[in-house]
Structures are given as C-alpha cells and as structure tokens.
Amino acid sequence: MSSKYGGGGRGRRGGSSRGSSRGHRDGSRERAGRGGGNSGSFDLDNASGRHPSHLKGREIGLWYAKFGAVRKKQADRRSRAVVQMDEAREQHIIKLLDSVQNDQSALERPNRDARGSALDGWRQQQMKGGEDREKDKDLEFLLQEIARDVSLDESLKRDLQSKKTHPKYKEMLMFREKLPSYGKKELVRLINSNQVLVVSGETGCGKTTQVTQFILDDHIKRGMGSMCRVVCTQPRRISAISVAERVAAERAEKVGSGNSCGYQIRLQSQLPRRQGSVLYCTTGIILQWLRSDPQLSSISHLVLDEIHERSLHSDVLLTIVKDLLDVRHDLKVVLMSATLNAEKFSKYFDSCPMIHIPGLTFPVEEFLLEDVVEMTRYRPKNQDRRPAWKRGFWQGRHSRPEKEEKEAEYKESWPCYARTLQAKYSESTIAALEMLDGDDKIDLDLILALIRHIVLNDEEGAILVFLPGWDNISSLNDLLMAQQMFRSGRCMHTHAHMKHIHVFKRPPPGVRKIVIATNIAETSITIDDVVFVIDGGKIKETNFDTNNNISTMTAEWVSLANAKQRKGRAGRVCPGKCYHLYNGLRASLLDAYQLPEIMRTPLEELCLQIKILKLGGIAHFLQKALDPPTEKAVNLAIKNLKDLNALDHSENLTALGFHLARLPVEPHIGKLILFGALLGCLDPVLTIAASLSFKDPFFIPLGKEQMADKRRKVLSRNSKSDHLTVVNAFQGWQEAKQHGGRYEREFCWDNFLSANTLQMLHNMKGQFAEHLMHTGFVSSKDPKDPNSNVNSEARVSKIMKINAHILCCRVKVYTKHDGKVCIHPKSVNYEETNFNYTWLIYHLKMRTSSIFLYDCTEVSPFSLLFFGGDITIQKDDDQETIAVDQWIVFRSPARTAHLVKNLKRELDSLLEDKIRKPAPVDWQNHHSKDCAVITAIIDLITTQEMTATTLPMAVADGHVNASSCE
C-alpha cells in the first residue's frame, strides 16, 4: 500500500499525487527559483467556437489563430480585478501625498550622482562600523592574537601531569588507547613539520576526537600551551556539541566553563579557556569570524572535519583558507576526510602530505541485488512489463549530462553482463534482475521479502534499512504492519528520527529491531546494535536547474562513498552483512561521491558572503574553488541579487545588500525581516522568517498523517496561509507555555508540534531582533516589543465570498514560467476550494514528479501592487490598467491607478531612506512621513475587499485558477 507522503531526507519534498506526494516535514530548508503566472477560463462570443463555413485550407488556420488571440484577450479583460477606492479614501490619500511631497522639497532630494557618492561613503563607514559592533558583541573569545604566556605554560603543564592520576582520566585513557588513531603518534610530527596535512580515516577510527587532543597535549608538554588554540569545524550543530562533550569527558573535565574543550554553534556556546584550548564549532561560525578577523589571527590550528561531504560552507572555507595560507605562514591546517577522495584535497593544497587511519569495524559481508533475488527467490509482481534496460525510462530524467551517459552505458552493457551471471545464478533470477534494477521506484516488496529472510534465517541483530524518502519509509512501515509476524511482538520497527528514542535502545531478548532511515543514519546518528544493513541504493539529491531557475529533487543512485558509509553501519559491534539493492553492473557505474553542493544549489547567499568578506569579484573567487560552479549559475545569482537591489551594477553591496549579508538567512528572507521591522509587524514576521530559514515546527508520526493534516488545518484558522499557520502554532505554544510545562506538552502533543523546534525558532527570533536593534531598525531586542508591533494585529476586515460552483476537489495553479504547477499536499491550501482571491505567493518551488509549491499564502491585489515589484500604468482598449512587473494586470480608474503609483513611489523612497539610515518608525507622530505613508498603505490593504468588485477568478470550466507571483 503506497503512502500519501512523498519525498524525504533533507529539505522539502514533493510528489505527483495525494497518494505519494508528502514531504519530509522536518527537513532543513532548500532554496528554489521563483516564478509566476495567471490563467483564466474563457466564454466564447461565438457560441459554437467553429470557423465560418466559407473558409478553406490555410484560411481556417489563420481564423483559429486570430480567434484564439481575441478570445484570450476578452477573457483576460473580463478576469482582471478592479482596484478602486471610495471618494473619502481617495481624498485622504491626495491630501497625504501633497503634505509629504511639500515637506520634502527638491533640495532635500539628492540627484542620482549625489546619492551614489553618498552611498559610497555610507558603505565604507558601515563596513567599518559593522565590524566594530560585531567585535564588541560576539567575538570577545577569539579576538586576541596568539601571545606567549610563560606562567600559563607552566600551569597547563602541571595540570596535564596531574590528570594522569585522576581515576576518570585513566579510565578514559584506556578506551582511547584502543582507538586506531591513538597509535598514529606520527600525526603530531607531520602537523608540526607541514603547514597542511590531510588525515583520511574510516568511520569510528577516532580522528575527530583524538587529533585535536594530540595537538593540544603536544604543545602543553613542550611548554607552549599558551600558544595553542585549536578550532575544529563540524558540518552539523549536533556533531559540534556531542564531540566537544566527548572530548571533555576524555579529559576528565566539563565542557566549556573555562576548561580545555568547548563548542560554539549558532545561538549556543560553551566556550573553553582562551589559551591552550580546543573549540568545536560549525563551519558557518568560522565564516562569521572571518568578517571581523580576516586572517584568523587568534587561531593556531584549524582542523576542517568531514570535508568529504562537500557542503557549500566547507568548500567556500577551503577556498578562503588556501588563500589565507599565503599570509598566515604560522597557521597549521588539518583536513580530515573519508578515504575515497583524500588525494583530491591533497592535490588542491599543492600535494600536501597525507596520512591514513584504519577504521575500528568488524568485517562486513556484502551482497548485491542478484544475491538477494537468488536467496529470497523473489519475483516482481508485474512480470509482464518489459525489462528496465529496454524501456529507456531514464531518458530525459536527469539534469546532468553525465548521468544520461551512464544510463546509456548501462543499457548497452546489460546483455553482456547478464551472460556473465548465467554460471552462478538461475534463469529466473536473471529475468527478475532485468525487471528490477534501473527501475525508477524502489521495490518495497523485495525489501519486505529480504527482511523476512533475515528474521527467519539469521542470528540476532538489528536491521537498518536505508530508503531515499519519507514516502518510502511510510509505505514500508505499512507493509510491515500488514504482516502478522511483524505485529506479533517478535519484531520492533521504527524510523530513524532523532525524536524516536527506540532507535537507540536495545530491544528485549528475542525481539528483532528494524530501523527504517534516510541517509541521516549514514553519519549523523549511530545505532550501535545494527548487524544487518539493507541499502536501498537510492538517495534524494537536490539540484538546481539554471535554465528554468528552479530546484529539482530526484532519487538518484548512491555514490560509492554513500555505499561505503552504509556498509560501515553493519560492523560496529560484531561481523555484519550489507545487502545492496543494485547489481554488479550498476555498482561499477556508481559515482565516487555525490556532486558537491556548490555545483547544485542557488548561490545568492554565498555571493553576498563573498562581498561582505571582501574576497574580491564573485566569479573570480568562485573559479578558485575545488570544484567551481558553472558560469551560468554564478551569473544567474548575480542577476537575482541585482534584481533584489542587493548588488549595484558594479557588483558592490548596496545598502540593502549590506544588511542582507549581515543577516544569517537567505536574501529573500532577510528582506522579509527588514520589511517586518519597518512596517511594524515584527513578531509574526520573525516567526515566519525563522521557520522558513530553519524548518516548520510540525512533525508527522507514522500512521497519523491524516490527524496531523487536520490539526494543521485547524491552526490555519481559515487564513489560507501556510505562513500564518506557523504564526498561529507558535503563538499557541507561547500561551500554553505560560501556563506551565504540562500545558505546553499537551498543546504540542495535540497539534503534532515539536517543542524543541519551537524553542529553536524562539531563539532565532531573539537573534534576529537583537541584530535589528544593533543596526538601528528597532529600539528593542524583544520581538514582542509594542513599538515594533503596531501593525502585527492588522487583519483583513471583511471577506468577500465567491459563490462559485466548484466541480473538482482542488484548484488549478499556474505560474508565469512553468504553466500548471501543484500546491504541495502538506500545505493547508492543498484541498482548499473557496479562495477569496486568485493570487498566491510562495517560498519554495521544487520539481520532483511535478512542480510543487511549498509555503504558500493567498494575497490580495493591493498587496501585489505595493510589494510585488515595479508598477506601470497602461491603457488597453479604452480601459485603464495598472500592472505589476508588466504582467500582473488589474483594471483601475485612471485617478486610482495614479494615486496607487504615487503612494508606491513614496513607500519605495521611505524604504530606501530607512535602509541607508536605519531608525525605528515613530508611530506616535501621525504627521511624520514614515507613519503617514505606511498607515495609508496598511489601511488600503486591510480593507481592499470592499472595493474589489470583480476578481480574476475563472469558474466557467468548473475550477478556480489560482496563480503564483514572484
């Protein structure tokens, strides 16, 4: 039975239908392109819609072409909304604009050249001032150069010597001595004699915990402890914390508190002593430090861990460090990687030396798909279908040409490979292989048969199943629940979500634990009692299609690195077995490792970081990366930032760009935060921004998907907005929390909310608000400060109902660039049929089996006019129109259109002034330009329904056409 939840793994996912299109709800956010469009139904003036009978041949085609254009034009004209205002409001805005324009004389409005020179001066002042503020605020721990302290050297030496008699230290030392890395004492010699060293090692060898201690202890023993400040980067927050706690325990200390080991991650830190210390931190923290200390002058040793994962931040940091070594000759750099691509990193750093550390795992026996089919005697249910290698189903699936080439090679090589199998495997097995491998979907029935085989024939031990997404996890769980043997108490099955404590607990004797996981279980979590691994062979991979400016999510074949990590999970406690669900030919064609993130993700946020770190030209810097992104991807990011007004024509940061680069979020979310501060609705906007940049607080227990949907719908309060649903959930949590822990737990349980995620969002909101206060946009670091939330409770005062006869269950949605798209099933708007308007905004657009929109909200025409882009006034067939970005068009009386345009111009001027010279809006002074302009706009937006006499909603063909705008 297939699940209704599709996708999975990291980020938001999508699928093709309610039957298989739910996303992994708690994934971190992925970036995506934005597009928009509109479509309507037509009423034909010609009732029959047929050409006149006297036309012949080519004349018929010309008639249909002309008739179709006329028909569309008529439908478009009828479907456009009318934006107008009553006479009293019109006179009020005229008076407002006159007073604002009189107050701001021509002398006070500098010309463009003057503004440019003023901005240059502002930029230099802000860059310097911003660094000073950041130094004072966050970086006291690191902002000091390394200096020798002889008395401290002796103290550290005595302290280390005394530890050797400490019972806890002696106990931990016995464990450390068993690690493969502990015997590699030549590591210290290599580090001391080389500026860069690559350390490769298998999972479990202890390199992350031991290398940093070797460096520190060596300096302390040589009487140079005060000169040692080791910083080790980790790709994930949880890794930085857990490793720091482990190292502190091995040193018989507490983490932080002025001891030798600590950690720092976003919004949380336990800092060690300033000298003679080891600090574990996320890669992003180092990039933040570089703003204030471009030479990392306070660090003696920089250890970059898990660099084989090729995250965006780690690749950028590698590029920066490579240049930094030319000026920091005393800086020691240790690169720690898995074994598959260690040589690549060594070559990048001028063929620096390498050292390998073996793993601490038991032998693992590996099986391929042909072995699994032979031992289970499994046969695909649909045996009438053509073999996968003959169907050519992969053609056009892949956005990367090299993937297409490998599939073509597979197709060509299969007949020869099949002949080599005849000596060892039965004909029925070979026939089954032809049906199975290369198919677009994972055969869950095969996995079920394999699990049954292990349970009935193998010794005790937990089974870990790797699947690409949440839809597969949910479906396999349903299949297991349908089998009596898995409900009898002999088996305990769950999925590897961090909240599920059963994942880590050993089951009672005689009970088999079955864990279903995505690739999170490759490295992020360790389940100690796993003996059997079933590698589904697929992994969800996000790519960015620069041609269509959209992210894509597909299940691709794993890399050799993924397969090796998965195999290693089976040998932690005893000899194990790993079953790879792909055949030997497929194994020979696997990539060595996944494509680096820098080559498959939008680059806007990265480009801003390059500029704020003063690393030179964007394209020039990125060309120096280990694997540079394409020129097209770089140019698209630069264009998008210029369109956002974050970069000027010379690729310098604008005032807006400077503020966006300082905010630790994607640029569009950063702009949302600034608008929330300026428009007096800070608290709800920060909730939305935190959720979009991290993850929404909802989670979905297996088997309770429909209940979770209903609760989310209730929390939406008919707002037709995923964004406001999160706001409502967050506010409800805060209110429940005020009544005590029991009420908080009940609220989260009843509404399928994660209290940990909500607390993280709360902390992020505080960080955003504090940043806004330091930069001058608000007067308080409290997100709920009344002066920052004058308009937070502004709501639409009247709702205009559409009495349309809806014949289908869901609306049809179109964007300008993609045509028909789908609202993702996790959205509260997925099954909505009674929209008040026909426009949606969205945060994320991703192509999986279809193009899906995530996090969407219904918006009104006036909202689009003021916040949707440039507006122009046109005349179309004696009809006045007002357009947003020249394609979202509304009918409007001429005087209303000009008033709206003038008011929009004043809003843009106000925003520009506030961005250049941040200051809180004085909401007490109703006669100020700030207060007057913003109040007028909010008044128009929240009462617009009374004036929108015709909406662009077509119902003649039985469906509502909702559109999405960028």
CATH number for the domain that contains residue 480: 3.40.50.300
Q: Which of 336, 357, 378 is at the close of a domain? A: 357
Contact 866/679 with Cβ under 8 angstroms? no
Q: Is the dihedral of CA 216, 218, 220, 223 positive or negative?
A: negative
Question: 77: part of which helix (H) or strand (E)?
Answer: helix 58-79
What pLDDT is recorded for position 45? 35
User: Would residue 39 count as lying in a domain?
Assistant: no
Considering 26-30, 389-393, 775-779, 864-868, the range whose residues carry the highest mean pLDDT is: 775-779
**Phi, psi angle pair for 392, to nearest 5°:** 65, 30
Residue 2, pLDDT above cutoff 50: no
Distance between CA atoms of residues 367 and 580, nearest Å: 6
The region of weakest confidence among 440-454, 677-691, 900-914, 951-965 is 951-965
What pLDDT is recorded for position 803? 28
What are the angstrom distances between the C-alpha of 906 and each of 52, 768, 805, 958? 53, 27, 41, 41
User: Would residue 50 count as lying in a domain?
Assistant: no
Q: What do you get for the CA distance between the two ends of the chain, in Å? A: 38
Q: What is the mean pLDDT of residues 950-959?
A: 29
User: Would residue 485 count as lying in a domain?
Assistant: yes
**Collapsing DSSP states into helix, strand and coil, what is residue 170?**
helix
pLDDT level of residue 89 (50, 70, 90 thresholds): confident
pLDDT level of residue 69 (50, 70, 90 thresholds): low
Cross-strand pairs, 541: 554
How much of the chain exceeds pLDDT 70, in percent? 77
Contact 615/625 with Cβ under 8 angstroms? no
Across 213-276, the runs of DSSP E, i.e. the strands, are: 229-234, 261-265, 268-270
Distance between CA atoms of residues 156 and 150, nearest Å: 10
User: Would residue 282 count as lying in a domain?
Assistant: yes
Its domain, for residue 493, covers 365-598
At 312-358, the pLDDT tens digits run: 999 999 999 999 999 999 999 999 987 778 899 999 999 999 999 88
Q: Which of 598, 614, 642 is at the close of a domain? A: 598
Higher pLDDT, 750 or 965: 750
Q: Which of 328, 357, 386 is at the close of a domain? A: 357
Distance between CA atoms of residues 595 and 311, nearest Å: 10
Residue 304, pLDDT above cutoff 80: yes
Across 126-234, the runs of DSSP E, i.e. the strands, are: 196-201, 229-234
**Phi, psi angle pair for 491, to nearest 5°:** -130, 145
Tell me: do 542 and 472 sit in the same domain: yes
User: Would residue 966 count as lying in a domain?
Assistant: no
Considering 2-11, 14-23, 875-884, the range whose residues carry the highest mean pLDDT is: 875-884
Tell me: do 167 and 216 sit in the same domain: yes
Question: 881: part of which helix (H) or strand (E)?
Answer: strand 880-884
**Phi, psi angle pair for 182, to nearest 5°:** -65, -30
What pLDDT is recorded for position 951? 34
The region of weakest confidence among 379-388, 509-518, 890-899 is 379-388
Contact 722/827 with Cβ under 8 angstroms? yes
pLDDT level of residue 716 (50, 70, 90 thresholds): very high
Residue 216, pLDDT above cutoff 60: yes
Q: How far is CA 346 from the centre of its chain?
A: 30
What are the angstrom distances between the C-alpha of 257 and each of 163, 190, 260, 261, 270? 17, 31, 9, 9, 7
Tell me: do 288 and 378 sit in the same domain: no
Number of domains the chain is built from: 2
Tell me: do 441 and 390 sit in the same domain: yes
Tell me: do 345 and 381 sit in the same domain: no
Contact 82/892 with Cβ under 8 angstroms? yes
- Which two three-digit tokens encode residue 249? 């325990």
Distance between CA atoms of residues 232 and 230, nearest Å: 7
Residue 809, pLDDT above cutoff 50: no
At 900-911, the pLDDT tens digits run: 888 888 888 888
User: Would residue 620 count as lying in a domain?
Assistant: no
Tell me: do 413 and 480 sit in the same domain: yes
pLDDT level of residue 180 (50, 70, 90 thresholds): confident
pLDDT level of residue 541 (50, 70, 90 thresholds): confident
Higher pLDDT, 605 or 958: 605
Contact 479/448 with Cβ under 8 angstroms? yes
How much of the chain exceeds pLDDT 90, in percent? 42
Considering 80-89, 90-99, 884-893, 911-920, the range whose residues carry the highest mean pLDDT is: 911-920
Residue 944: CB atoms within 10 A of its CB come to: 23
Tell me: do 270 and 408 sit in the same domain: no
Contact 350/318 with Cβ under 8 angstroms? no
User: Would residue 73 count as lying in a domain?
Assistant: no
What pLDDT is recorded for position 493? 58
What pLDDT is recorded for position 441? 76
Higher pLDDT, 136 or 912: 912
Tell me: do 369 and 340 sit in the same domain: no
Residue 393, pLDDT above cutoff 60: no
pLDDT level of residue 518 (50, 70, 90 thresholds): confident
Tell me: do 248 and 294 sit in the same domain: yes
Q: What is the mean pLDDT of residues 157-162?
A: 93
Tell me: do 344 and 382 sit in the same domain: no
DSSP 8-class letter at 18: T
pLDDT level of residue 637 (50, 70, 90 thresholds): very high
The label of the residue with tokens 């892949």 reads: 398
What pLDDT is recorded for position 877? 65
pLDDT level of residue 235 (50, 70, 90 thresholds): confident
The region of weakest confidence among 12-26, 176-190, 303-317, 602-616 is 12-26
What pLDDT is recorded for position 323? 95
Tell me: do 262 and 392 sit in the same domain: no
What pLDDT is recorded for position 506? 73
The region of weakest confidence among 109-113, 201-205, 723-727, 855-859 is 109-113
Nearest C-alpha neighbor of 543 from the set 532, 552, 555: 552
Residue 8, pLDDT above cutoff 70: no
**Collapsing DSSP states into helix, strand and coil, what is residue 845?**
strand
User: Would residue 479 count as lying in a domain?
Assistant: yes
The label of the residue with tokens 């750099």 reads: 333
Catalogue the long-range contacts made by 68-71 (C-beta closer than 8 Å, 24 or more residues apart): 71/42, 71/44, 71/45
At 593-613, the pLDDT tens digits run: 888 999 999 999 999 999 999
What pLDDT is recorded for position 626? 95
What pLDDT is recorded for position 817? 78
| SS3 assignment for 438-489 | CCCCCCHHHHHHHHHHHHHHCCCCEEEEECCCHHHHHHHHHHHHCCHHHCCC
Q: What is the mean pLDDT of the chain?
A: 80
The region of weakest confidence among 156-165, 291-300, 663-672, 830-839 is 830-839
What pLDDT is recorded for position 936? 84
Tell me: do 336 and 392 sit in the same domain: no
pLDDT level of residue 878 (50, 70, 90 thresholds): low
Helix axes 283-292, 112-138, angle to 10 degrees: 120
